[in-house]
A = this chain, B = another copy of it.
Amino acid sequence: MRDVCVIGLGLIGGSVLRGAAASGRTAWGATVSEVDADAASRSGYEVTANVEAALHRAAEADAIVVVSVPLPAVENLLRLVSQHASHCLLTDVVSVKGPMLEAVRRRAPYTRYVGGHPMAGTADSGWVAGSAELFRAAPWVVAVEDDTDLAAWAEVAELVLDLGAFAVPLPADSHDETVARISHLPHLFAAILASVGAQGGPLAMSLAAGSFRDGTRVAGSSPELVRAMTEGNREALLPIVDDALGRLGAARGSLASTGGLAVTINAGHEGALALSAERDALRAGVRIDLTAPDAREGLIALGERGGRITGFEGSVALGEVS
């Protein structure tokens, strides 16, 4: 098993470092945040504030380098990777995959790069919020592009499985459109709900119950991180926001004219049922031989259907799909 070098030790990076070490891999990290570096060192992890030294060690050990910084900090970090660990296997946990792929092609073209994104998190941030268990049973997108080296892909997917997650093979554009739908729009909605609620002053806050607390929970997340992920996914997010605006406008029109909200509320209820159905679905096993000529298409088709990779037998990826 390859060693793991994690750069950026916030909630996600910190959890990757803990999980990689817990799975028996040699793992170390670096962060420019002195608060996070101190906290991680005090917890007994090998952590430095010297990013270049950590990358140097990665180059010597031929480790997997995991980029765990917010998108606005990616370009600078990739420049360092290109200088100090240009031939390492590179992955990341950044929440948009198209812009990340472009940045890698521009700044670190010689790395073997396989993009990643764990669909897990909490409203808290920083090293102290992390846990080796954060990714347990979570989907983790491992990107498959036209030029992805499938041996490298399998290595990143195995790290993901070691962290307790499932690997979901998807192209960057498909990932970005989906996260706009199920993560970035929810963050925007939470922000707007929280603003409208707060306009009601202490009375509104004192009456806020389950629906408001649930609906605004992620508005408590770090605004910088939320901006980085939503603004970074602008191209995919715009049509999704337009869809939501159209639906909210239609609900408004219907409430004002006939007084009815049946279409809106019934569609939402069916959506909620679809989510439960997906969670409870029976899944069939699938085997994808990564040395076969159509392996790439097989992986992508599995991901697009909501399937996931749960293990490996040699060069065969074991998947399941409902």
Contact = CB atoms under 8 A, between A and B. Distances in A.
Interface stretch (A31-39, A106-114, A234-242): A234-242
A197 B211 contact: no
A122 B210 CA distance: 7
B207 A218 contact: no
A268 B217 CA distance: 10
Contacts of A234: 255, 259
Contacts of A217: 210-211, 214
Interface stretch (A52-60, A151-159, A220-228): A220-228
Given A192-B251, A197-B275, A247-B196, A269 B186 contact: no
B206 A168 contact: yes
Contact of A191 (B168, B205, B267): B267
Contacts of A272: 190, 194, 216, 219-220
Interface stretch (A21-29, A63-71, A299-307): A299-307
Interface in A5-30: none
B189 A193 contact: yes
A261 to B, nearest CB: 5
A270 interface: yes
A287 interface: no
A72 interface: no
Contacts of A307: 206
A285 interface: no
B230 A203 contact: no
A268 B205 contact: no
Interface in A255-271: 255-256, 259-262, 264-271
A58 to B, nearest CB: 29
Contacts of A218: 210-211, 214-215
Contacts of A170: 203
Given A192-B248, A255-B238, A267-B191, A186 B206 contact: no
A1 interface: no
Interface string A243-254: 111011101100
A149 interface: no
A96 to B, nearest CB: 13
A187 B211 contact: yes
A270 B223 CA distance: 10
A119 interface: yes
22 contacts: A168-B207, A182-B211, A186-B216, A188-B251, A188-B264, A190-B215, A192-B251, A192-B268, A195-B271, A202-B322, A205-B306, A206-B278, A212-B275, A214-B215, A216-B272, A226-B265, A227-B262, A241-B248, A241-B252, A245-B248, A245-B249, A248-B248
